[in-house]
């Protein structure tokens, strides 16, 4: 771990830098997907109602990640830029302020999730049994949301400093605990109670609590790129908070828009019935296999662009984004081919219910078409965020949701009668357009002049 901590990503060969930063992030994404897969797969063994409950519950949990996700984006970008300028103490101070802000926000989010769990599920059109099961899961997860937020921000700070291996090791531990606890508490192994769907919530909170303890412990050892001490000042600083939220607010808004769009999209699907909800969750989890390379390359782009912008090397920063996206295009295009020709290979991992499989197969085939443009969107957006250009991704997410995905999904699913397939066509069209717009923005190079308050982009 320590060897990677000494690399200078403002000087290293860019392709090598992308790979060194990306592979731990790919593994990290794989591990995060594994948690989601474990939740969905185990819930699927409890029946369609349990599968729908966990799926809708996770939608609300993801929605709650919007604020902390924006804060994490700002943390990664600003820590990266401080590292590029060799300003270590400023990076450490900003990390402390990020954690303070995240913990304060988590208190409000936790209260809201606990109080309004049933109302959310009812609004989503869930049937009574799904509301009962899903509310149990939601309340448990939101009771421990402060731990989930801490893991987000700890990993964001490490990545900004150019250390993607430490978050990977933290996630390895979290996954092992999460999957084991899910199994134990969902099915009542040995002396432990059979909690069913609620057991998935217990596993989530327990694993993140232990992950937070490990992350803070690594900070305090002072052997890694981010070094903190309990004697440091954790008093909120308005100047640092403003910096974080000026960069993080558009990213949070983007996530809120995306999460709201996903929730409304899920609501459109929910009114097609429990089988459609279950099939949608299975198709989304199957598609998540393709997100792993895209996520890894996006993290690499964020760190490399951020550190090189901080070092005043705008041309190298731009090239880092292109190198990252080329690799993502190759992998995600291959996944699209596999989704199209072998959809059951992925769908059978999550359910054996033939009714659900029949609905999920065409959805996975449809979404295979947009994998290349999804790579463009994910990775180049990561590059823009590294340069602190968080507004453009927000704008295209808003436009795509309001004018393409949601109205087209409703039109195709109901008036035109295509049901779940129609909704998936709308999602695919939206992803294609977003990817092309992101490429157009990145190629203009305007983001280099705005990055980190630079008036001109040095070459």
> Is 450:393 a contact under the CB 8 Å cutoff?
no
Provide the CA 352 distance to its chain's centre, in angstroms. 27
CA distances from 22 to 145, 248, 325, 448 (A): 27, 23, 11, 22
> Is 85:311 a contact under the CB 8 Å cutoff?
yes
Average pLDDT over residues 73-93: 92
- 207 versus 64: which is more confidently predicted? 207
| Residue from 100, 103, 94, 383 nearest 243 by CA | 94
Burial 51-78 (b: 16+ CB within 10 A, else e): bbbbbbbbbbbbbbbbbbbbbbbbbbbb
Start-to-end Cα distance in the chain: 32
Percent of the chain with pLDDT over 90: 60
Q: What span, in angstroms and rounded, lies between the C-alpha atoms of 328 and 55?
A: 27
Mean pLDDT check: name the lowest of 45-54, 195-204, 326-335.
45-54
Q: If you count them, how many residues does the chain have?
A: 459
User: pLDDT band for position 67 (50/70/90)?
Assistant: confident
Q: What span, in angstroms and rounded, lies between the C-alpha atoms of 296 and 315?
A: 22
Is the pLDDT at 457 greater than 80? The verdict is no
pLDDT digits (tens, 9 = 90+) for 380-435: 999 999 998 999 999 999 999 999 999 999 999 999 999 999 999 999 999 999 99
| Helix boundaries (H) for 368-418 | 371-386, 391-400, 406-413
- Mean pLDDT of all residues belonging to the chain: 89
Average pLDDT over residues 444-459: 60
> Is 332:374 a contact under the CB 8 Å cutoff?
yes
- Whose tokens are 């109670």? That residue is 193
DSSP H or E segment with residue 452: none
Q: What span, in angstroms and rounded, lies between the C-alpha atoms of 186 and 354?
A: 23
User: pLDDT band for position 458 (50/70/90)?
Assistant: very low
């Amino acid at each position: 771990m320590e060897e990677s901590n000494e690399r200078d990503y403002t000087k290293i060969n860019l392709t090598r830098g992308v790979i060194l930063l990306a592979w731990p992030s790919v593994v990290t994404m794989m591990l995060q997907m594994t948690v989601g897969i474990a939740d969905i797969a185990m819930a699927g063994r409890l029946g369609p109602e349990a599968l729908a409950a966990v799926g809708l519950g996770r939608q609300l949990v993801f929605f709650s990640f919007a604020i902390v996700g924006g804060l994490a984006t700002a943390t990664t970008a600003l820590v990266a830029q401080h590292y590029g300028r060799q300003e270590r103490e400023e990076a450490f101070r900003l990390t402390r302020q990020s954690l303070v802000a995240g913990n304060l926000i988590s208190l409000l989010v936790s209260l809201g999730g606990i109080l309004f769990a049933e109302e959310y599920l009812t609004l989503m059109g869930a049937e009574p049994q799904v509301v009962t099961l899903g509310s149990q899961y939601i309340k448990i997860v939101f009771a421990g949301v402060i731990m989930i937020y801490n893991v987000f921000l700890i990993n964001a700070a490490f990545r900004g400093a150019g250390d993607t291996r430490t978050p990977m090791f933290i996630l390895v531990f979290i996954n092992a605990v999460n999957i084991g606890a899910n199994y134990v508490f969902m099915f009542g192994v040995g002396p432990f109670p059979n909690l069913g769907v609620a057991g998935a919530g217990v596993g989530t909170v327990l694993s993140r609590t232990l992950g937070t303890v490990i992350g803070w412990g690594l900070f305090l050892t002072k052997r890694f790129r981010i070094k903190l001490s309990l004697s440091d000042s954790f008093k909120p600083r308005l100047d640092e908070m403003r910096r974080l939220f000026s960069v993080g607010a558009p990213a949070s808004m983007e996530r809120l828009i995306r999460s709201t769009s996903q929730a409304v999209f899920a609501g459109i699907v929910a009114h097609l019935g429990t089988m459609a909800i279950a099939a949608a969750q299975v198709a989304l989890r199957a598609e998540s296999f393709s997100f792993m390379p895209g996520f890894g390359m996006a993290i690499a782009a964020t760190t490399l662009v951020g550190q090189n912008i901080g070092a005043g090397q705008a041309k190298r920063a731009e090239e880092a984004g292109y190198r990252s996206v080329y690799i993502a295009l190759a992998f995600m295009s291959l996944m699209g081919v596999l989704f199209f020709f072998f959809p059951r290979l992925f769908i059978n991992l999550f359910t054996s219910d033939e009714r659900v499989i029949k609905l999920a197969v065409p959805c996975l085939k449809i979404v295979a078409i947009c994998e290349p443009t999804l790579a463009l969107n994910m990775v180049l957006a990561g590059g823009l965020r590294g340069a602190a250009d968080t507004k453009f991704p927000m704008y295209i997410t808003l436009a795509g949701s309001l004018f393409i995905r949601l109205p087209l999904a409703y039109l195709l699913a109901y008036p035109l009668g295509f049901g779940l397939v129609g909704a998936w066509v709308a999602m695919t069209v939206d992803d294609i357009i977003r990817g092309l717009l992101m490429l157009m923005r990145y190629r203009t190079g305007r983001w280099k002049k705005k990055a980190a308050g630079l008036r001109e982009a040095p070459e």
